[in-house]
Every structure is written in structure tokens, then in C-alpha cells.
């Protein structure tokens, strides 16, 4: 069984190099009929390939797909045949290391479409295949071509707005998942997995290959590689240490019904029903005083020894400054009405 398939409409620079690709209906684990039809029309046999397709080829593909009962992809191919932008058909036989920009974009779409969870696809080496672009009011533009485009816009009486300069676009220009609220869409990158019921407030941020399981409140930073469990609340300005920002190969995650207070942070995974008080940043090497129910010292250990354990309350002693950990007696329950996204 093959890994993925997608018909994408993209952007190329003046040298014909791919800058970005939009896949409206990516397919995970495409069936053999779809692959056989695409293979016959596109002269594809196997392997991971991104095949540029013109209007005539796409019309042939649409007709063949329709005859084979692949109505959804047939309709997409027919629409793509009328595109003014270049079209690519990407076929991934295996989830191997990507070798082209269209392949990377297909994998990022699979995550944001919730077809694959973070860490569910191989993303090694993608930075070298994602060009740093100007993301503008007229789409992606090669930075070398930006000055001329800006001048041309002014001559024509327009202003070309540059929204960001980055390797990743914002997710909502490509995918808007069902049942979410995103106050500032620029703060969620393509390749984020945003679970149904999630609310992301203005200061919230979700990187690629990271996300939320479901109904959660995100007012802090969800770094690359981090997954947040259902019912958890990340307070304003809090941070999770991702594998791209000093976390090494430790996969940081937050369990269900947890609370990270405002400006708190974690460099260890948390289990369920954990609380980290506002302003407290815990790294794996942080010394933690473990207290019993009577507030008596049981042991002093490193935070990594508590990684993944549930029902913990992390706080700082206001008198000594020591970081303490107790059993968390009160689980955090999100306000159901406040977080309704339908």
C-alpha cells in the first residue's frame, strides 16, 4: 500500500522552481485503483515523485479517474486543469525522506488535515527543501523577485503587503480544520495539528509537527514536536520546550486536563491533571523538592525523574525559592460554554 497522494496547485519562481503547493484533498494510504489510474496517465510506476501536469494531462486524468469510480479526485483534477497556476501530482510510495518541495508540502498538509498526527510522518531534512519566501497579499514570492514585484505593484497603483518572511506559511491559507477558533491565524504554521474544540487566543502559537488533541485553550507556545492533551489550558505567555529549541531528542508533551500558568514553561513531558504555577519554568535538570500530603520533604530529585507522571502540582516556595512538587488534588476543568467552537 502506498503512503500518500495529492493533486496540488502551486507557485513557482521565474526559474521554474517550486515555492509552495496547496493540496485541497490530500489522500493518506490511497487505494490501488487510484494509483493504477494515475500511473497510467502520468507514466508513473513506483517511488516518490512530484510530477508537473498540464491542462490536457489533467483532463485525461480526470476522465480516467471518473471512469474508475474515483469521483472526488476526478473532480479535483478537472478543476485543476483550468488552473492558471502550475499543477503538480505528488505520489509517495513510502514515507521516506522528502526530496522535493511538493513532497514536503504534502506531508505538512497530511498533519494539518488531521490525517496524520505529529511525529506520524518523516520530516527529516525538510528545511533545505522549504525556500525562505515573502508571504504576501499576492501569495508566495521568491525573495530575489520581491523588489521587482513591489515596484510593479506601485506602478499599477497597488500596495503589495508582505505579511511575513519565513519558510512556513500560516496554516489557514491552506487548511481550516473543523471546530476550531484561532484569534491570530499568523501564529499557527502549516503542519500544525489543531484538534477539534481547540481555542487559540491571540498570544497562542502552534508550530509545525505539533498540536492539540481536542478541546484545549492555547494562550502560550506549543513548540515543534509538542502535543497537548484534551482539556488542557496553556496560560498566557507560557512555553513548551520543543526539539528545535534545546529539548534535544526528548519529546515534550502535555497530558489531559493540565494547566500551565501564565509565563510558566516545561522542558519535561507532563502526565494527566498536572499544574505548573505561573512564572515557573521547569527544565529536566531542575531540582525539585518532593512533598507529601503534610508538606513534609520526601526527597529531592531532578524534574526528569517526574517526567510523564500524573496528578502533580509544581510550585515555587515563596520563602526559600525552592521548586516543590505535590500531588495535585484539583483537576483543571475547562469552561464548556467558553470553549464551544460550533
Based on the domain organization, do 182 and 322 belong to the same domain?
A: yes
Domain for residue 79, yes or no?
A: yes
CATH code, 144: 3.30.60.70
Domain for residue 244, yes or no?
A: yes
CB 277 within 8 A of CB 303: no
Based on the domain organization, do 186 and 262 belong to the same domain?
A: yes
The phi, psi pair for 264, rounded to 5°, reads -80, 175
Based on the domain organization, do 306 and 185 belong to the same domain?
A: yes
Based on the domain organization, do 143 and 257 belong to the same domain?
A: no
Based on the domain organization, do 202 and 321 belong to the same domain?
A: yes
Based on the domain organization, do 112 and 139 belong to the same domain?
A: no
Domain for residue 333, yes or no?
A: no
Domain for residue 342, yes or no?
A: no
Name the strands in the sheet holding 139-142, side by side, starting at the edge strand that comes first in the sequence.
Answer: 139-142, 133-136, 162-166
Query: Who contacts 277 (Cβ-Cβ below 8 Å, separation ≥6)?
Result: 261, 264, 313, 314, 315, 316
Based on the domain organization, do 114 and 157 belong to the same domain?
A: no
> pLDDT by residue for the chain (342 residues), tens digit each?
799 999 999 999 999 999 999 999 999 999 999 999 999 999 999 999 999 999 999 999 999 999 999 999 999 999 999 999 999 999 999 999 999 999 999 999 999 999 999 999 999 999 999 999 999 999 999 999 999 999 999 999 999 999 999 999 999 999 999 999 999 999 999 999 999 999 999 999 999 999 999 999 999 999 999 999 999 999 999 999 986 554 456 789 999 999 999 999 999 999 999 999 999 999 999 999 999 888 889 899 999 999 999 999 999 999 999 999 998 654 445 455 545 666
In terms of residue numbers, what domain contains 153?
134-166
Predicted confidence at residue 327, as pLDDT, reads 83
Q: How many CB atoms lie within 10 A of CB 157?
A: 6
Predicted confidence at residue 332, as pLDDT, reads 46
d(CA 336, CA 332): 12
Based on the domain organization, do 18 and 110 belong to the same domain?
A: yes
Based on the domain organization, do 176 and 161 belong to the same domain?
A: no
CATH code, 69: 3.30.70.2010
Q: What DSSP assignment string belongs to 278-318? A: TT-EE-TT-EEEEE-TTS-EEEEEEGGGGTT-SSEEEEE-T
Domain for residue 308, yes or no?
A: yes
Eight-class DSSP state of 319: T
Domain boundary among 166, 183, 217: 166
d(CA 208, CA 11): 21
Domain for residue 286, yes or no?
A: yes
Based on the domain organization, do 82 and 152 belong to the same domain?
A: no
Residue 219 annotated among the catalytic residues of the structure: yes
Catalytic residue among 219, 277, 324, 336: 219
Is this model's pTM higher than 0.95 or not? no
Nearest to residue 21, comparing CAs of 107, 98, 95?
107
> What's the structural domain count of the chain?
3
Domain for residue 340, yes or no?
A: no
Domain for residue 336, yes or no?
A: no
Query: Who contacts 296 (Cβ-Cβ below 8 Å, separation ≥6)?
Result: none
Burial of 335 (0-12, 13-18, 19+ CB in 10 A): exposed
Based on the domain organization, do 11 and 64 belong to the same domain?
A: yes
Based on the domain organization, do 93 and 189 belong to the same domain?
A: no
Domain boundary among 101, 129, 157: 129
CA 45 to chain centre: 31
Amino acid at each position: 500500500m502506498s503512503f500518500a497522494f495529492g493533486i496540488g496547485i502551486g507557485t513557482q519562481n521565474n526559474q521554474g522552481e517550486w515555492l509552495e503547493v496547496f493540496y485541497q484533498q490530500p489522500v493518506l494510504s490511497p487505494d490501488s485503483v487510484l494509483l493504477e489510474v494515475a500511473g497510467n496517465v502520468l507514466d508513473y510506476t513506483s517511488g516518490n515523485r512530484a510530477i508537473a501536469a498540464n491542462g490536457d494531462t489533467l483532463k485525461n486524468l480526470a476522465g480516467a479517474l471518473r471512469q474508475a469510480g474515483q469521483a472526488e479526485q476526478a473532480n479535483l483534477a478537472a478543476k485543476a486543469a483550468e488552473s492558471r497556476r502550475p499543477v503538480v501530482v505528488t505520489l509517495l510510495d513510502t514515507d521516506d525522506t522528502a526530496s522535493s518541495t511538493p513532497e514536503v508540502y504534502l506531508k505538512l498538509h497530511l498533519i494539518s488535515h488531521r490525517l496524520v498526527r505529529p511525529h506520524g510522518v518523516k520530516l527529516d531534512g525538510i528545511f533545505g527543501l522549504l525556500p525562505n519566501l515573502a508571504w504576501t497579499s499576492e501569495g508566495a514570492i521568491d525573495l530575489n523577485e520581491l523588489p521587482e514585484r513591489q515596484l510593479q505593484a506601485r506602478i499599477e497603483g497597488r500596495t503589495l503587503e508582505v505579511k511575513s518572511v519565513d519558510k512556513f506559511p500560516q496554516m489557514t491559507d491552506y487548511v481550516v480544520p473543523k471546530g476550531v477558533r484561532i484569534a491570530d491565524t499568523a501564529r499557527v504554521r502549516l503542519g500544525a495539528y489543531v484538534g477539534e474544540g481547540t481555542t487559540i487566543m491571540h498570544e497562542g502559537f502552534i508550530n509545525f509537527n505539533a498540536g492539540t488533541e481536542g478541546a484545549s485553550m492555547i494562550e502560550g507556545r506549543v513548540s515543534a514536536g509538542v502535543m497537548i492533551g484534551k482539556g488542557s489550558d496553556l496560560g498566557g505567555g507560557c512555553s513548551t520546550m520543543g526539539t528545535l529549541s534545546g529539548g534535544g531528542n526528548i519529546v515534550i508533551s502535555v497530558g489531559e486536563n493540565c494547566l500551565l500558568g501564565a509565563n510558566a514553561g516545561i522542558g519535561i513531558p507532563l502526565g494527566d491533571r498536572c499544574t505548573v504555577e505561573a512564572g515557573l519554568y521547569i527544565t529536566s535538570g531542575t531540582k525539585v523538592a518532593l512533598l507529601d500530603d503534610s508538606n513534609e520533604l520526601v526527597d529531592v530529585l531532578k524534574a526528569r525523574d517526574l517526567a510523564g507522571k500524573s496528578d502533580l502540582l509544581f510550585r515555587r516556595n515563596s520563602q526559600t525559592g525552592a521548586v516543590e512538587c505535590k500531588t495535585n488534588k484539583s483537576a483543571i476543568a475547562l469552561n464548556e460554554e467558553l470553549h464551544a467552537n460550533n
